[in-house]
Structure 1
Amino acid sequence: MFSSGHKARHHNESFSKYRAGKSSSKRKATGSFRDGSTSRREEKVEKQSLSKAHQSPTLTSAIVTLCVGTEQRLFAAHEDVLCHSPYFLAACRGQFFESASKRIDLPDEQPEIFSSILEYLYKGDYYPKLEYDKRRSTWVLEDANNGGAESVVYIDGVGVPILKDTIIYCTAERYGLDELKKLALRKQGLQSGVQCSTILTSARYAYANTPDNDAKLRSHYLALIIRSRHTFKRSGTMQNEMEAGGKLFFDLFVAMVNHMDDIASTRSPR
């Protein structure tokens, strides 16, 4: 139970100690969680796929103009590069046979996010790039220690900060870019020092912008909240969010129960 006395005191507390790692539960969603961590074999496969995901494009196809956002920011991209996305492949085939303008309007997209999407389509990654630290045998984000990577984005019409990697994951879902979804999920697990309020608003965004059968991002948030439950318990933001309700908190309740059952089963005598 959350007491009202905690509301103002710990509103800005962050979960800097908690990152996406392995959880004790191996139950599958729905209603439970798995945090997206991988085995050593999967890590090896992932390193290989990241390095081979994109070959250098030939850059000989026609140029497509993309008008993005409410301010109608203009981007240009090669048609062959765009068509790595099933979404843009369908858009090109459907539109360009009728028009020679080679223009696609994306009024609901965020220019900052779309810039990262294009960067990925051309280079196989987006800023801050994912780097492998051989000395520590782990993945890191470039500029992570220098504070150079902006981790949150303010979306038009939402008015609250959302983790950039969460928005990119959801955008990749719409565009049919499965490898980009994996990359965004991996990067999100490396973020630290993010406010509790941002985690909760980002979790809500993830639930609102992913289908029910795509549990990876949702499960990441459930596992993260459970691991950092003591911080969230002191957060007035959590109390406000839970009072608002929604499927996120039903899933969180079930995941918590499963987590407690797992702990109980490991402690019970055999």
Structure 2
Amino acid sequence: MFGSRNVSRSQNESFTRKRRDAKGKTSFREHPVSKNRAARSIRKPPGEDAASPANTLTSSIITLVVGREQRLFAAHEDVLCHSPFFQAACRGQFMEATNKRVSLPDEEPEIFSSVLEYLYKGDYYPRLLLNKRKNTWELETGEGGSSVESTVFHHGVDGELLKDTVIYCTAEKYGLEELKKVALRKQGLQSGIQCSTILSSARYAYANTPDTDNKLRAHYLALIIRSRSTFRRSGTMQMEMQAGGSQLFFDLFVALCNHVDDVASVAASPRSIRTHH
């Protein structure tokens, strides 16, 4: 039912791959997720919310033709219709009436597969798992305990993007608010992401969310500021800022980072500052 390659410019431009529990300035992490907050953010499978789950799994089958390669997916109509986008599609706005097909040529099959998995199961791979010892949530690992690939190749940008960012933006388009929460939470648990991937994903986020979005956009702004020591040394960041207009933008960014560092240093030792006066 359900249906990834950037080269780093230097080791200084990448976030060091450390153990997931390590805390460093350059790690791509947020604060631990509490059990209750995560539990509230994960959507129940549609079948559990429906008045009659049996009807959901016996409704008409819709064929979805996804991406440039026209990958075929199949899903129950009632499951798809938890999304306002697909409600409209299944009512004939986008669907071929004769064979119940919906064409999604601009979507990435890997991303759509995750969205479909969420609609059926309330989560997508890698799932959020509860660490009972720490009472926090973590991402499940792959075979042999290896980490699961966090990026996906996107034809629209001809490069790698953070998978959870693309899923968030897809959920925005499909009107799946709870899926947005799950994707944002999972992205906050990722680590070892290169600067270039973060910047390209941030551009994608801004291009595919409304100006009113105060979740994913704010996440990227906070991430870059929190990891400013890495981004300040980043040649990729410098090129990004220069491409925006002139060297002024990158100089302004460095000045802001230096100012924030100075303020933080003063705030950390107020007594020593007063003794000098």
TM class by shorter chain equals: 0.7 to 0.9
> Structure 2 matches for 1:23-62, cutoff 5 A?
44-50=36-42, 52=44, 54-56=46-48, 57-58=53-54, 59-62=57-60
Counterpart position of 1:106: 104
Unaligned residue ranges in structure 2 (runs of 5+): 1-7, 18-23, 272-277
Equivalent residue in structure 2 for 1:77, among 51, 75, 78: 75
User: Which whole-Å deviations, capped at 9, do the CAs of 1:127-170 have from their partners, x for residues lacking one?
Assistant: 00011111111110000683341110111141221000000000
Provide the C-alpha distance between the structure 2 equivalents of 1:97 and 1:168, rounded to a whole number of angstroms: 23
Instruction: State the AA in 1 paired with 2:230.
Output: T
Counterpart position of 1:194: 193
Aligned sequence identity (%): 61
- 1:67 is paired with a residue of what secondary structure? strand
Provide the C-alpha distance between the structure 1 equivalents of 2:261 and 2:79, rounded to a whole number of angstroms: 47
Provide the C-alpha distance between the structure 1 equivalents of 2:16 and 2:94, rounded to a whole number of angstroms: 48
- How many residue pairs are counted as aligned between the two chains? 244
- 2:114 is paired with a residue of what secondary structure? helix
Provide the C-alpha distance between the structure 2 equivalents of 1:97 and 1:234, rounded to a whole number of angstroms: 50
Provide the C-alpha distance between the structure 2 equivalents of 1:182 and 1:93, rounded to a whole number of angstroms: 27
Equivalent residue in structure 1 for 2:125, among 109, 127, 146: 127
Instruction: State the AA in 2 paired with 1:61.
Output: S
> Structure 2 matches for 1:69-218, cutoff 5 A?
69-95=67-93, 99-143=97-141, 146-218=145-217
Choose between structure 1 and 2 for higher RCO, CA contacts under 8 A separated by at least 6 residues.
1
Counterpart position of 2:219: 220
- 2:192 is paired with a residue of what secondary structure? coil
Provide the C-alpha distance between the structure 2 equivalents of 1:100 and 1:258, rounded to a whole number of angstroms: 63
TM normalised by structure 2 equals 0.76
Structure 1 residues 233, 84: closer, same or farther in 2, change over 3 A? same
Provide the C-alpha distance between the structure 2 equivalents of 1:61 and 1:258, rounded to a whole number of angstroms: 60
Larger Rg: 2
Provide the C-alpha distance between the structure 1 equivalents of 2:71 and 2:138, rounded to a whole number of angstroms: 31
Counterpart position of 2:21: none
Provide the C-alpha distance between the structure 2 equivalents of 1:13 and 1:65, rounded to a whole number of angstroms: 41
Instruction: State the AA in 2 paired with 1:50.
Output: I
User: Which whole-Å deviations, capped at 9, do the CAs of 1:95-135 have from their partners, x for residues lacking one?
Assistant: 48982321100000000100000000000000000111111
Cα distance, 1:220 vs structure 2: 0.5
- Contact kept in structure 1, 2:13 and 2:230, CA below 8 Å: no
- Contact kept in structure 1, 2:67 and 2:108, CA below 8 Å: yes
- Contact kept in structure 1, 2:45 and 2:120, CA below 8 Å: no
- Contact kept in structure 1, 2:195 and 2:234, CA below 8 Å: yes
Cα distance, 1:232 vs structure 2: 1.2
Provide the C-alpha distance between the structure 2 equivalents of 1:100 and 1:171, rounded to a whole number of angstroms: 27
Instruction: State the AA in 1 paired with 2:107.
Output: E
User: Which whole-Å deviations, capped at 9, do the CAs of 1:2-27 have from their partners, x for residues lacking one?
Assistant: xxxxx9554642255423435xxxxx
Counterpart position of 1:229: 228
Instruction: State the AA in 1 paired with 2:159.
Output: V
- 1:191 is paired with a residue of what secondary structure? coil
Q: Provide the alpha-carbon RMSD of the alignment.
A: 3.2
Equivalent residue in structure 2 for 1:21, among 27, 30, 33: 30
**Worse-superposed segment, 214-223 or 86-95:** 86-95
- Contact kept in structure 2, 1:96 and 1:102, CA below 8 Å: no
Unaligned residue ranges in structure 1 (runs of 5+): 1-6, 23-36
Instruction: State the AA in 1 paired with 2:103.
Output: D
Cα distance, 1:241 vs structure 2: 1.0
- Contact kept in structure 1, 2:43 and 2:178, CA below 8 Å: no
Counterpart position of 1:33: none
TM normalised by structure 1 equals 0.78
- Contact kept in structure 2, 1:65 and 1:102, CA below 8 Å: yes
- Contact kept in structure 1, 2:171 and 2:180, CA below 8 Å: yes
